[in-house]
Amino acid sequence: MDTVLSIKNLSKHYGRVKAVDDLSLEVQRGNVFGILGPNGSGKTTTLGTILNVINQTSGTFEWFGQKGDQNTRKRIGAILEHPIFYPYLTGVQNLKIVCDIKEVPYSRVEEVLKVVSLDERKDSKFKTYSLGMKQRLSIASALLCDPEVMILDEPTNGLDPQGIAEIRDLIIEIANSGKTIILASHLLDEVQKVCTHFCVLQRGKLIHTGLVEDVGKGSLNVEVKADVENLQAVLEGSGMASHIKRELDKYTMTMHNGYSAAQVNEYLFKQGITAKHLVVKTKTLEKQFLEILAGQEGGQS
């Protein structure tokens, strides 16, 4: 595997606040890696640290197997906040200024404007752009250096549904062109739609990391209702569930790997019980995320 970013035991404290708390994670080349967490969980601080904008309290990180410095920084395109563009200049003019700063040939401007689908509005003044177009111009600006890695902090914040869809499609397109993407978001849906890998931060701590496609696996829920008094005990006796939750007369079994709703039905039948409700629920990332956070709350008490 080709590790692009390796973070080891990274911490950033602001007085008593542990904005980032002993964080270790790796991002491989080609990943679209989502850093998911509620507001204040340390996403922006993590990104600021790995971009050398914020000094860490302790811990280390490496880009491309090297200590992060000016040379590695050139291989990374980042949008942390809305970059400042000149309102009375056009998209092209603004990007040419960025070319001057980054020492990139002007020929790149037309190329990146095409990628972000702003070529038709390239000669309009920045102040006439919609929020979505402004964000796409930011992405174009970050693409000028043809970076290997793109870092995006809450890229769809404040956009309308169409703008959100356009930015998400663009991120996927950029990922398909071979770039590694690291994206911070508090939106589960966004991570699920765009990312291949993700981690969850809570109060600066890493509480989960994995593949987005694995999220549903091993987390089959089966809802059961039956007219039996001791249904909880009966279901526990099956050994098929890792957890059983009761809400009124409905029992939700979180199934161990390999067990199905049909097996629950068969088991109940053998116990002389007819289920009057047996429904399969696959867990979404959202539910899993909320459970992870709920579990973490419990674990810390």
Ligand X SMILES: Nc1ncnc2c1ncn2[C@@H]1O[C@H](COP(=O)(O)OP(=O)(O)OP(=O)(O)O)[C@@H](O)[C@H]1O
**Contacts with ligand X, residue ranges (CB under 6 A):** 14, 17, 19, 37, 39-45, 186
As measured in angstroms, the least distance from the Cβ of 12 to ligand X is 8
As measured in angstroms, the least distance from the Cβ of 286 to ligand X is 17
Cβ burial of 236 (10 Å; 0-12, 13-18, 19+) is middle
Determine how β-strand 250-255 pairs with β-strand 220-225: antiparallel
Q: Which is nearer to ligand X, 39 or 230 (by Cβ)?
A: 39
As measured in angstroms, the least distance from the Cβ of 183 to ligand X is 12
Report the DSSP beta bridge partners of residue 66.
Answer: 63
As measured in angstroms, the least distance from the Cβ of 157 to ligand X is 9
As measured in angstroms, the least distance from the Cβ of 34 to ligand X is 13
Q: Which is nearer to ligand X, 53 or 280 (by Cβ)?
A: 53
As measured in angstroms, the least distance from the Cβ of 54 to ligand X is 8
Q: Which is nearer to ligand X, 157 or 252 (by Cβ)?
A: 157
Q: Which is nearer to ligand X, 37 or 91 (by Cβ)?
A: 37
As measured in angstroms, the least distance from the Cβ of 205 to ligand X is 11
DSSP the chain: --EEEEEEEEEEEETTEEEEEEEEEEEETT-EEEEE--TTSSHHHHHHHHTTSS--SEEEEEETTEE--HHHHTTEEEESS-----TTSBHHHHHHHHHHHHT--THHHHHHHHHTT-GGGTTSBGGGS-HHHHHHHHHHHHHTT--SEEEEESTTTT--HHHHHHHHHHHHHHHHTT-EEEEEES-HHHHHHH-SEEEEEETTEEEEEEEGGGTTTT-EEEEEE-S-TTHHHHHHHHT-EEEEEEETTEEEEEEPTT--HHHHHHHHHHTT---SEEEEEEPPHHHHHHHHHHHHHHHH-
Phi-psi label, residue 99: left if phi above 0, alpha if psi -120 to 50, beta otherwise: alpha
**Backbone φ, ψ for residue 210 (5° rounding):** 175, -175
Q: Which is nearer to ligand X, 43 or 179 (by Cβ)?
A: 43
As measured in angstroms, the least distance from the Cβ of 190 to ligand X is 13
Q: Which is nearer to ligand X, 57 or 284 (by Cβ)?
A: 57
Q: Which is nearer to ligand X, 55 or 70 (by Cβ)?
A: 55
Q: Which is nearer to ligand X, 43 or 108 (by Cβ)?
A: 43
